[in-house]
Every structure is written in structure tokens, then in C-alpha cells.
Amino acid sequence: MKSGRLLQLLASVAAGDVDEQISVAEMLYRGWSPDDPYSQHIYNTAMILCADHELNVSSFAARVVASAGSTPYVVINAGLSALQGVRHGGYTEHTEAFLKEIGAADKAEEVIAARMRRGETTTVPGFGHTLYPDGDPRAKILLDKLKAHYADSPEIVLAQAVERAVLKMLGEHPTIDFALAMIGRLYDLPHGSTLGLFALGRMVGWIGHAIEQYEDGQLIRPRARYV
């Protein structure tokens, strides 16, 4: 299975840069943010943090498809189909829209208060991961790196204001979606790029799950009770 070749192929589509001699992170840096070398490190870190996360929706879907004996290409397609859902990786786009709605650091509490009045406090995009009540460690790693390197950026000022406001008003912490959305804003990436970054990282996990499932040789076939 030429899984590395498959990853390189999809990365070249995302970045618009075809060079099999360089890493995926460097490919993204060249295609997305060639004026900022540090972005390569950020992309690499983000993909590592997104690579696997237990049996999340897309990884489970990929594993089920692999258990049927499907090719790696079909397995990846299954993972991508699940990942783009708005309750999974597609949530990054909602987070980007939320940050765009706020726009400026001094508007953070105002926008969140308006959401509270509309009864939308349970769905503040980019905050409150159900598995991490004390904060998503993946988000912390990425955000700490971004804040340290781009401390004076208006986007970092915005991020910190939003974090403070959400914690104060709702008691929630940032998720990986928020960190990815901030990457998109810092590097002024085209719409959909952060989901692409998420997908490229998670793809490694899907391939790993597929390899395990191929070796196991068992079909994943849950039973159902008719009622």
C-alpha cells in the first residue's frame, strides 16, 4: 500500500504544489504562506495533533469500510465524507464564521451576549469539547505556539479576547476547531483550507486504522434489534 504517495497526492491538490521530495508541511507552506517560514512548523504541529482521536466519526467510518476489504482510496473517501459533516471537521467553518462575526477584540462579549439572548449558548463554535471539560490539550498546544510567535498580531489579540469572554460568560475552553480557525485567520488562508489541514492530518490516522483492520481481517458488522 503506497499510503505515503496517497497523502502526498492529496496534499498537492490542497497546496497547489507538486513535489514528492518535500514534506506535506513544507508543501503547504510553499502553497499557502510562502512569506512565513514558521507556518511550516505550525502546519506540521496541527497535522500531528489532528492525526488520531480514538474512534471518532471519520476514523470509525474509515475502519468499517476497511473491514469490508475496500481499497485505501475508498477508505480515505469514506473518512473525508464523514469529516466534512458540521458535527465533525466541518465545524471549523462554523468557528471561522463565529470569529468573523465578532471581528474585533472589543466586540467579543457583545456578540456572545447576543448569542446568549438568542439561546445559542450551548453551541458557541470552537469551545466546549465534551471530552475535555478542562480544555482541549490539542488546542492549547497550537494556541500557545501561535501566541508566542505572533504575540503582536491583531488576530492573536482577537483570539485572546474571545477566549477570555467565553470563559468568563460560559466557562468554556477552546477546542481544536478554534485553534485551526485561528491558523486560517493568521495566514489569511482561502475558505476551506483549515478543514483541508484537519483532513491531511487525520488521513494518517485513517490509514493506520485501515492497516490494522486489514491485518485483523474481521468484518465490522453490528447487530440491530427491531422494535
Indicate whether 172 belongs to any domain.
Answer: yes
Catalytic residue among 88, 129, 173, 209: 129
Let me know if residue 121 belongs to a domain: yes
Q: Residue 86: inside a domain, yes or no?
A: no
The overall average pLDDT reported for the chain is 93
Q: What is the distance between the alpha carbons of residues 182 and 130, in angstroms, rounded to a whole number?
A: 21
Closest CA to 107 of 147, 152, 150, 165: 165
pLDDT tens per residue, range 158-199 = 999 999 999 999 999 999 999 999 999 999 999 889 999 999
Which of 54, 196, 209 shows the shortest CA–CA distance to 132?
54
Verify whether residue 129 is a known catalytic residue: yes
The domain of 148 spans 91-186
| Angstrom distance (rounded) from CA 159 to CA 157 | 6
Task: Please check whether residue 197 is in contact with residue 183, taking contact to mean a CB–CB distance below 8 angstroms.
Answer: yes
The residue assigned the cell 488546542 is 139
The position carrying cell 475496500 is 70
In a domain? residue 169: yes
- Note whether residue 201 is domain-resident: no
> For residue 55, is pLDDT > 70?
yes
Hey, how many other C-beta atoms are within 10 angstroms of the C-beta on 186?
20
Establish if 45 belongs to a structural domain. no
Distance CA 210, CA 65 (A): 8
Find the catalytic residue in 88, 136, 173, 177. 177
Lowest mean per-residue pLDDT among 7-21, 74-88, 89-103 = 7-21
10 Å CB burial of residue 59 (0-12, 13-18, 19+) is buried
Over residues 64-75, mean pLDDT: 96
pLDDT tens digits, one per residue of 127-150: 999 999 999 999 999 999 999 999
* 52 tagged catalytic: no
The one-letter amino acid code at 192 reads: G
- Is 133 inside a domain boundary? yes
The residue-averaged pLDDT of 38-62 equals 97
Compute the chain's Rg from CA coordinates. Answer: 19
How many structural domains are present in the chain?
A: 1
Q: Please report, for the domain that includes residue 147, its CATH number.
A: 1.10.230.10
In a domain, 167, yes or no: yes
Measured distance CA(181)–CA(159) in Å, rounded: 10
| Amino acid code (one letter) for 117 | R
Sequence-distant contacts of 167-170: CB under 8 A, at least 24 apart: 168/109, 169/109, 169/112, 169/113, 169/116, 170/112, 170/121, 170/124, 170/127, 170/128
pLDDT score, position 20: 74
* Confidence (pLDDT) at 6: 80
Looking at the DSSP bridge assignments, the partners of residue 194 are: none
pLDDT at 121: 64
